[in-house]
Every structure is written in C-alpha cells, then in structure tokens.
Amino acid sequence: MQFLFTAFGLHNPFLSIPLPDHAVFPLAKEIRGELDLDYTALMIGNSFIMDAQAFDFVVSGQREFLSPMADTLIRLKTEGLLKTIDYNEIVDDKIPEIKKKVELALEDPIPWFRVVQAQWRALKDEFSSFHELYGSEENEETNTVHSGVLQYVNECGNVGREKLLTHLNGLLERKRSRYSQSDVGHIKEIVKPLIAQIFINDLIRNQVGSPFLDWDDAKGYYEKLYALSWRDNVDNLELLRQANLLFDAVIPDLKPNNIDAVIRFIRDDKAVDSMRSELNSLLEAGETISKDFFIKYSNKVVQRELALKSKMKKYRFWGAAITSLIPGGGVAQELGVAAAEEKIEDLVSDVSTSKMRWYYALQNEAYRK
C-alpha cells in the first residue's frame, strides 16, 4: 500500500505567519538528539509520497536537527520507495472551495474548538521542549504559541496585541460551557487554519488516491471530519498507532534501527502485508496491542512451529513473552532452551505465505544488519 506524508502549514490559505520549526516535516522520532523519520510509519507501507517543497526543506540543511531524516528521505527516494509531488498543484485551484468548506464547518465552531483544545493540551509542553532542544532563538513565539492564535493575533495588528494574546491563550486552555458572542468570533478565527489543514490533507488523499499518515494528535480532527462517512483514513491512523505500540512498548528490540534494515523489510511485500493484516485483524476484533497480546502471539508461533516440525533456527523472544514461553521450563525443554536465556530454539518452517511472515522477517538477522 502507498501512503502520503502530510506537511503541516504548507499551501494553507489561512496561514501567512512564518511556520514553526516543528512544522512541515513528516512523522519523526528522536534519535541521539536529532530527528529521523519514524520507521514504524514506513513498516506499514510499501511506498510513500511526500510534498516536494517539504522534501526540499528537510534535505536543504536549514534545520541541522533534521539531518538523519534528510539522509533517510534521500535514501528512500534513491531506492524508488519515495516519490515527491507538488501538493500545491492540487491545492491551489481548490482554495475557494476549501475556504467555503471551512466556513460551513465553522457555522458552529465550538465542537471543533474542543478538538483544538484537546490537541493543544497534548502538545503544549512538547512544543516548549522541542523549542528548548531544537528551536531557533528568533522563533520562540512561533514555536511555542498555538499557530491559530498567533495567526489571528498578527492579523489584528499591534494595538492591544499582548492583551489579545493573553485572552486567546486563556480561551484555548480553559474549558467553558458557554462563550460570549465576541469569544465565539475569536474561536472561529483560531480554528480556521487547523480545519483548513484537515480539508487540504483530505483533498490530496482524494486526488492522489492514497491514504495519508499524519501525527497521532490530529486523529480527533479526522474522526470529526469522517463522522458521517467512511472511516478508512481514521483506521489508517489507528493502524499506525498500534504499530507504534507494538514497537515502542512491547517489542522495541524488533524495530529495525537503520534505514537499510527498513528498506529490506519494505521490499519484502509479504512481510509488510502480513503485519498490516495482523494489526487490522486486531482492530476489527476490538483489541489493542499489549504485552498480553504479544505473549499469546508468541505462544501461537511456537505451537504452530512445533506442529510443523521443521528444522531448527534461533530466534529471540523479548520482554514478557519469555516468561510465558518457558513457564517451569515445559516448552523450553521441548525446544532445548534454558529458562534463564533470552533465546529459544524455534522450529521455523517456510513462511513465504504465512500470516506471521512479518514476525519471522523482523527476527531474521538479515533485516537487522
């Protein structure tokens, strides 16, 4: 499956302020004090599309902390796994329609404002920390103040600026049951750039014909947007969240640690498809990734391989799964493993068509070198 990366702030008709240092670039993870592309996002897709302007920004070297991401994106593009297109060619002709949709959506801005408030509660401290680590001194306000608030304040001019900024920040951070007519007008202006961005992302998805991967904090917007239609892209965001849980919380040691390893995994289409299928099955069953899930999954793998009685190979089982696999040494003895070890001798069959292919592939040393 092909996925789009979003590019917050670019081509947005309601944003004319300088974009914060944490905008534009796609899903990221901190690696040794710098930011790289989130490999988890790569592992649920077979190829990717990115805005050409966003790509140029990341690889330009303007933001030194994005150096690892620049290397990753260049490598993906060289390997033919990443395509860049000009999102503005899609958006520009549709700006009048986007503005109309935003106005219609904000006839009652309060429900959308609740989503904005929830997102801000999740991000406010992160943006402050981001600025301390990576932000340029001249961009402190841009990096730490809500973009919708800052855009509106700048549109209102310098007279009474600080007073208005304080008032709008108060609106954003305090939940009220009722608002004055004046405050409803303020709220509508704060929310406009955020809602426009959601419509832009959905427009690009529709025109290109591929779902997009956005930051997890944006999920509330899409749930509201798709509340009366099919939820395919909300499901894709949940798929990504479950993949993050799998690799960050349950089996972090199985996540490839360099772009070469990720590329090897992506090129194994059956491995990618089987992992996505496994996560989709989990969601359809109303479950979520947890250590209990992985214990059950690991036991299922062992039972399957014991039944097939194939040749022996070494595989690792991490975390809580170990205690489940070798309770009292019963399974361990059959597999020839000491209970104190974190390795088991697993019986591995031909998994070329197996639903479990992703699991075997990630344990294969060839994917990890």
Quick: pLDDT tens for 179-207.
Answer: 999 999 999 999 999 999 999 999 999 99
Q: In the structure, what pLDDT confidence band is assigned to residue 146 with cuts at 50, 70 and 90?
A: very high
Instruction: Go through the chain and tell me how many residues it has.
Output: 369
- Residue closest to 130 by CA, chosen among 215, 220, 5, 252: 215
Residue with tokens 């006839």: 107
Q: In the structure, what pLDDT confidence band is assigned to residue 67 with cuts at 50, 70 and 90?
A: very high
Give the per-residue pLDDT at 233. Answer: 59
Residue with tokens 């297109």: 85
- How far apart (Å, rounded) are the C-alpha atoms in residues 221 and 332? 48
Q: CA of 178: how far to CAs of 110, 174, 243, 327, in Å?
A: 9, 11, 39, 58
Phi (first) and psi of residue 185, to 5 degrees: -65, -45
Inform me whether the pLDDT recorded for 299 exceeds 60.
yes
Give the per-residue pLDDT at 353. Answer: 44
Residue of higher predicted confidence among 46 and 247: 46
- Residue percentage of the chain with pLDDT more than 90: 50
- How far apart (Å, rounded) are the C-alpha atoms in residues 162 and 29? 34
Inform me whether the pLDDT recorded for 160 exceeds 70.
yes
Q: Which residues contact 155 (CB under 8 A, 6 or more apart)?
A: 189
- Residue percentage of the chain with pLDDT more than 70: 80
3 state DSSP class of 304:
helix
Q: Which of 25-39, 282-296, 318-332 has the lowest mean pLDDT?
A: 318-332
Inform me whether the pLDDT recorded for 83 exceeds 60.
yes
**Whether the predicted model's global pTM rises above the 0.75 cut:** yes
Give the per-residue pLDDT at 101. Answer: 95
Q: Which of 77-86, 208-217, 231-240, 319-328 has the lowest mean pLDDT?
A: 319-328
Q: Return the number of other C-beta atoms located less than 10 Å from residue 9's C-beta.
A: 19
Q: In the structure, what pLDDT confidence band is assigned to residue 132 with cuts at 50, 70 and 90?
A: very high
Tens digits of residue pLDDT in 300-343: 766 665 555 444 344 443 333 333 333 333 333 333 333 333 33
Q: In the structure, what pLDDT confidence band is assigned to residue 116 with cuts at 50, 70 and 90?
A: very high
Give the per-residue pLDDT at 323. Answer: 37
Q: Which residues contact 302 (CB under 8 A, 6 or more apart)?
A: 325, 331, 335, 344, 346
Tens digits of residue pLDDT in 251-280: 777 777 789 888 988 888 888 888 888 888
Give the per-residue pLDDT at 336. Answer: 35
CA atoms within 13 A on the CB side of 220: 14
Give the per-residue pLDDT at 52. Answer: 98
